[in-house]
Structure 1
Amino acid sequence: MKRVLIISPYFPPSNTPDMQRVRMSLPYFKQNGWEAEVVMVDPAYSDAPMDELLLQTIPADITVHTVKAFAKKYTAKLGFGNIAFRSYWFYRKKVNELLSKNKYDLIYFSTTQFAVCVLGAYWKKKFGVPYVIDMQDPWHSEYYRDKPKAQQPPKYWLSYRFNKTLEPWALKQVSGLISVSESYITDLKTRYPQIKDIPAATITFGSFLPDMAIALKNSENFTPLLATGYKNMVYIGRGGADMHSAISPVFEVFKNLLTQYPDQYCHLRFYFIGTSYAGQGQGTPTILPLAKYFGLEEFVVEKTDRISYFHTLATLQQADALFIPGSDDPKYTASKIYPYLLTNKPLLTIFNAKSPANIVLKECGAEYTLSYDDAHIQIRIKHFLELMATDTLASPIYNKSCMLKYDAQNMTKQQTDLFDRVIKETL
């Protein structure tokens, strides 16, 4: 049995998108010949929301190591609130101890807290252990360089320079790459020619059916977020101006329908929940200003505060219809599409035409998979909203073989196949 040491600063009960791949994969590593251990930051030092229900999905036989981190209330004053920076030296010490005492065949970084990945090159040189990085998002990116300051992430000037400096330290020595988007891998291999021949695989996040059962079992424990007596369309996930191109056509069509047929459409409501990564009560709305531009603030609800993962699943189940807007960045893919598909609720998605999310959605049979530059987008949106308003939207029938293809078990097999290739090429 080969052994992989997984570096995931956020891990249950911390509720963050970037730990989901690891969490959903853990039940399936052993059946593919790999014994997994996880090194996480102690939840006491985590700045992420907590969801204790996530712990129910972690196999009992998985060894989880914890490390400390410097307190954010002190480091944030110096501009370093990121958990990767706060835990860096503790990770170095702990993993040094583990690698000194035990044999591991591979180190696997699966996180968007990328600064900690720099340690991969250090451990590879010191202990001879190869490492794989999971690029769930771009690390260094030029995307925001020409965007207005208001659209740039907080502390963009500083983070841009750190990312541009740190990424090559980790990437030039990496032994394998996994990514949710093929374009991320292409960009990195172009940027760093020395890794052009290393094993790499595009692996999306998988669906994990047990999560739905946990959400339904606990649904009564969650605060209801949707108003009764309305037809509610729901999106739960980050917001941002980069999604306005996908949301605007929906608002425009709805505004026209509302003007022409107010009695028929006045009972529709649009919810955008968890749109900000800021702390509770500190988020700035990014969708509501667009709703106000169209004169729809009465019909659009934006809740910037994030909610727990299982609260999310329960809320999706309570909706009449679901909506996933994509970024105007063609490389963007939404990991959240699988929970949406598992709800079997009517689904409208609008992505950049080049987004890899479109391929998965169409393959699974999602009928209303649109791009915001489609010639007939307004007709398709109008049809969706007409059916929603008249309560005649049918539950989707998805391609079962496609759903199995993208479930967590199969996605884990693809990860371990990549691990095996890395080990074979480093012998």
Structure 2
Amino acid sequence: MQRVRMSLPYFENFGWQAEVVTVAPPYTDMAQDELLLQSVPTFVKVHTVKALNKSFTSKIGLGSIALRSLWYYRQKINRILKKQKFDLIYFSTTQFPVCILGAYWKKRFGIPYVIDMQDPWHSDYYINKPKSQRPPKYWFAYRLNKYLEPIAIKNVDGLVSVSAGYVSQLKSRYPQIKNVPSAVITFGAFAPDLQIAVQNGGRFPSLLNEGYFNMVYAGRGGTDLHQAIRPVFEAFKIVLKHDFAKYSKIRFHFIGTSYAPTGQGQATILPLALQLGLENYVTELTGRISYYHTLLTLQQANALLIPGSDDPQYTASKIFPYLLTGKPVLAIFNKASSAIPILNDYGVQHVYNYDEVSEADLLTFFDQLSNNNFNHTEYNTDAVAKYSAVEMTRAQCLLFNQIVNGYR
């Protein structure tokens, strides 16, 4: 959703007029933020669809918004396509089951379609993990994804992805798409969002500790982040022991770490802090907060932490809101992650891979943080322009042009 939302103001700049079809708010149980509408241009036409009521479908174990809305998407877009001519259908969502409709509409109406792979769809990543580390209903989701993914991917006309690894994996799995156009496009930096967050700051309670140095990470948790977080915690233990009075004011906040409904999420970062004896310095809020509450909290922080997964394909496509704040950033990723060269392009000072980050690197960061030696960060202006939302929209439209011109 975020990629398209950030692109909507700019599609027409590159010759494309977009209409959006989405699930109506009453039918989703996901965190809702009406402020998102402030960034959607009024000239964009938005259609909404219904979904089966979760209070009924959950009784048979069906909670996915994609599956609950699939029939309604089919019916609604059938009516739209009968009335108007469209050049392309663009799926940009992590609710991947909806994408199987692309093959149906392509066959019925002759319209090519593109899928945006923001995450892996069918993945073996968790198959050998302990049950406690797997997502909820993994057994069912794994088998469903294995069945649905080929329906959508074998007929796709183009792929967008945040990771080159996602594209190469799909083209290897499905040889019939090896020549379809594809593009690796990160999420763009969309500065208006930070302004909207500040302008509406009175709506949101503060989640940070006044009078402390607050270091914030907002995003999903998981044990796959431990390799990136552990060296940070271990270095923090060292500086605490060296000069307790100086460093004991630092607090770590991990916010929105679970996709489970509020109050039902299991902490995945706090157990690591407990293991290292740092539970008094680490707060984990598993419940998701709204997008703009997140952006406001990032701006209120003293410094930001971006830990990457041990999955080398993990891209942390949400790094740009962190960078837009101008706050000090400590980023640690798998050495193969595409986030590292992006952060280096920007000129972020403290970017490391967890195999090579040294104790000295992290001690330097904590020393700078406690001494308040960070000034408002000025990033490489070429990188700021290169990764802006408008340039990411341009890249999408170039791919759309290639697909449509080749389809005629």
Name the TM-score, length of structure 2 as normaliser.
0.99
One-letter amino acid of the structure 2 residue matched with residue 270 of structure 1: F
Written as runs of structure 1 = structure 2, the 5 A alignment for 1:51-200 is 51-200=33-182
Give the C-alpha shift of residue 193 in structure 1. Answer: 0.5
Residue in structure 2 matching 1:202, options 179, 184, 188: 184
Asked if the contact 1:371/1:377 (under 8 Å) is kept, the reply is: no
1:339 and 1:191 mapped to 2: Cα distance? 33
Q: Report the equivalent of 2:405.
A: 424
Give the C-alpha shift of residue 209 in structure 1. Answer: 0.8
1:124 and 1:242 mapped to 2: Cα distance? 38
Q: Report the equivalent of 2:28.
A: 46
1:352 and 1:21 mapped to 2: Cα distance? 24
Give the C-alpha shift of residue 254 in structure 1. Answer: 0.6
1:252 and 1:394 mapped to 2: Cα distance? 26
1:236 and 1:130 mapped to 2: Cα distance? 36
Give the C-alpha shift of residue 424 in structure 1. Answer: 1.1
1:113 and 1:377 mapped to 2: Cα distance? 39
Give the C-alpha shift of residue 396 in structure 1. Answer: 2.2
Residue in structure 1 matching 2:359, options 356, 378, 383: 378
2:61 and 2:400 mapped to 1: Cα distance? 36
1:395 and 1:162 mapped to 2: Cα distance? 47
Name the TM-score, length of structure 1 as normaliser.
0.94
Give the C-alpha shift of residue 91 in structure 1. Answer: 0.6
Residue in structure 2 matching 1:308, options 269, 277, 290: 290
2:319 aligned with 1:337: yes
Residue-by-residue CA offset, 1:293-317 (whole Å, 9 max, x unaligned) = 0000000011111111111111111
Residue in structure 2 matching 1:394, options 375, 387, 392: 375
One-letter amino acid of the structure 1 residue matched with residue 335 of structure 2: A
2:391 and 2:116 mapped to 1: Cα distance? 17
Greater than 6 Å deviation, 4+ residue runs? none
1:356 and 1:109 mapped to 2: Cα distance? 23
Q: Secondary structure at the match of 1:314?
A: helix
2:293 and 2:210 mapped to 1: Cα distance? 17
Asked if the contact 1:384/1:393 (under 8 Å) is kept, the reply is: no
Residue-by-residue CA offset, 1:224-258 (whole Å, 9 max, x unaligned) = 11011111111111100000000000001111221
Aligned sequence identity (%): 58
Written as runs of structure 1 = structure 2, the 5 A alignment for 1:319-358 is 319-358=301-340
Q: Report the equivalent of 1:281.
A: 263
Listed as ranges, the gaps of 5+ residues in structure 2 are: none
Asked if the contact 1:131/1:174 (under 8 Å) is kept, the reply is: yes
Residue in structure 2 matching 1:412, options 385, 393, 396: 393
Residue-by-residue CA offset, 1:125-175 (whole Å, 9 max, x unaligned) = 111100000000000001001111110100001100000110000000000
Give the C-alpha shift of residue 397 in structure 1. Answer: 2.1
1:301 and 1:203 mapped to 2: Cα distance? 33
Asked if the contact 1:347/1:366 (under 8 Å) is kept, the reply is: yes
1:406 and 1:108 mapped to 2: Cα distance? 21
One-letter amino acid of the structure 1 residue matched with residue 376 of structure 2: S
Q: Secondary structure at the match of 2:85?
A: coil
One-letter amino acid of the structure 1 residue matched with residue 291 of structure 2: Y
2:361 aligned with 1:360: no
Which shifted more, 383-392 or 290-299? 383-392
RMSD over aligned Cα, in angstroms?
Answer: 0.8
Give the C-alpha shift of residue 74 in structure 1. Answer: 1.3
2:236 aligned with 1:254: yes
Residue-by-residue CA offset, 1:255-295 (whole Å, 9 max, x unaligned) = 12212221121111000011111111111111100000000
Q: Secondary structure at the match of 2:72?
A: helix
Give the C-alpha shift of residue 48 in structure 1. Answer: 1.0
1:173 and 1:377 mapped to 2: Cα distance? 47
Give the C-alpha shift of residue 195 in structure 1. Answer: 0.5
1:317 and 1:390 mapped to 2: Cα distance? 19
Give the C-alpha shift of residue 394 in structure 1. Answer: 3.0
Which shifted more, 253-262 or 101-110? 253-262
Q: Secondary structure at the match of 2:47?
A: strand
Residue-by-residue CA offset, 1:361-387 (whole Å, 9 max, x unaligned) = 00111110111001x432111110111
Give the C-alpha shift of residue 395 in structure 1. Answer: 2.9
Give the C-alpha shift of residue 214 in structure 1. Answer: 1.0
1:240 and 1:332 mapped to 2: Cα distance? 13
Residue-by-residue CA offset, 1:13-32 (whole Å, 9 max, x unaligned) = xxxxxx10010000011111
1:264 and 1:356 mapped to 2: Cα distance? 35
2:202 aligned with 1:220: yes
Q: Secondary structure at the match of 2:251?
A: strand
Q: Report the equivalent of 1:12.
A: none
1:397 and 1:101 mapped to 2: Cα distance? 50
Q: Report the equivalent of 1:233.
A: 215
1:422 and 1:392 mapped to 2: Cα distance? 50
Count of matched residue positions in the alignment of Structure 1 and Structure 2 = 408
Residue-by-residue CA offset, 1:203-231 (whole Å, 9 max, x unaligned) = 00001011111111122321011011111
Q: Secondary structure at the match of 1:97?
A: helix
